[in-house]
Amino acid sequence: MSNLKISKLHKHFGAVDVLKDINLDIRTGEFVVFVGPSGCGKSTLLRCISGLEAASSGSIEIDGQVIDDVEPAQRGIAMVFQNYALYPHMDVFGNMAFSLKMQGLAKDEIRRKVEAAAEKLQLTPYLDRLPAQLSGGQRQRVAIGRAIVRDPKVFLFDEPLSNLDAALRVRMRMEIAQLKLQLPNTTMIYVTHDQVEAMTMAQRIVVLKDGRVEQVGTPLELYERPQSQFVAGFIGSPR
């Protein structure tokens, strides 16, 4: 089933065309990686999907419903940024509970959701710690936990590991893969400029270049049948 459908999406900032005729069809539960060089429009595309940025034209559907005029908070989309900011004065529980409190959920409902998310992210022992008392990887997991408690249909990651050191990146990649297994029906879109990350994590890769989709395929398809020199070079195919 198609979960996220993007049709003829264009985005310009003033005279600069940043996204040009983006068409994508992403299935429910799919793990898709958007990859491409810095400045090619990856973050802008995620921001259009999440509603933080309005598209100049084109449309986006979730489960068959056009969401172009739906408020970001109502889209069922969660976003994890590279510069995640936790509330420093709130403990892990408070950070993860915050948006649910804003929604006015009952206390026991909030506790149930936060504890379930903490369990998935191995954060149960840390619920009463402050962000300053956590490692970088644990803080990143809290940022993911804040999103998970809202049961998003689509999870957007914008280079979530780029602030972490190499060893921690490897570990967090495995943890995100594990998270995907635990949330089989949650569509995940993961943005990176790192081709190794793309090749190892994706079910399908979308290669972006200068605001256009250059090629879409499984990691193996892109590796074995790159449609352009650009894709071959970027993916590292022997061509």
43 counts as binding ligand ADP under rule CB under 6 A: yes
- With 0-12 / 13-18 / 19 or more C-beta atoms within 10 angstroms meaning exposed / middle / buried, residue 45 is buried
157, two tokens: 């990651």
Taking CB under 6 A as the rule, does residue 236 contact ligand ADP?
Answer: no
Q: Which of 9, 33, 42, 141 binds ligand ADP (CB under 6 A)?
A: 42
Instruction: Indicate the residue whose CB is closest to Mg ion.
Output: 43
40 binds ligand ADP (CB under 6 A): yes
Number of residues that bind Mg ion (CB under 5 A): 2
**Contact status: 161 vs ligand ADP (CB under 6 A):** no
In the chain, what is the straight-line distance between the N-terminal and C-terminal CA atoms, in Å? 35
Quote the CA–CA distance of 236 and 226 in Å, as a whole number: 10
Nearer Cβ to ligand ADP (54/66): 54
Q: Nearest distance from residue 19's CB to ligand ADP, in Å? A: 8
Where helices occur in the chain by DSSP H, the ranges are 42-50, 92-102, 107-120, 136-148, 166-182, 195-201, 219-224, 229-235
Q: Mask 2-31, x = binds ligand ADP (CB under 6 A)?
A: -----------x----x-------------
Interaction with Mg ion in 28-47: which residues (CB under 5 A)?
Answer: 42-43
**Inter-axis angle of helices 166-182 and 136-148, nearest 10:** 20
Only one of the segments 32-40, 65-73, 85-93, 119-127 lies at the binding site for ligand ADP (rule: CB under 6 A); that segment is 32-40
Report the nearest approach of Mg ion to the CB of residue 123 (Å).
27
> How many Å is the maximal CA-CA distance in the chain?
58
Q: How far apart are the C-alpha atoms of 63 and 152, rounded to whole Å?
A: 13
Binding residues (CB under 5 A) for Mg ion: these are 42-43
Q: Which residues bind ligand ADP (CB under 6 A)?
A: 13, 18, 36, 38-44
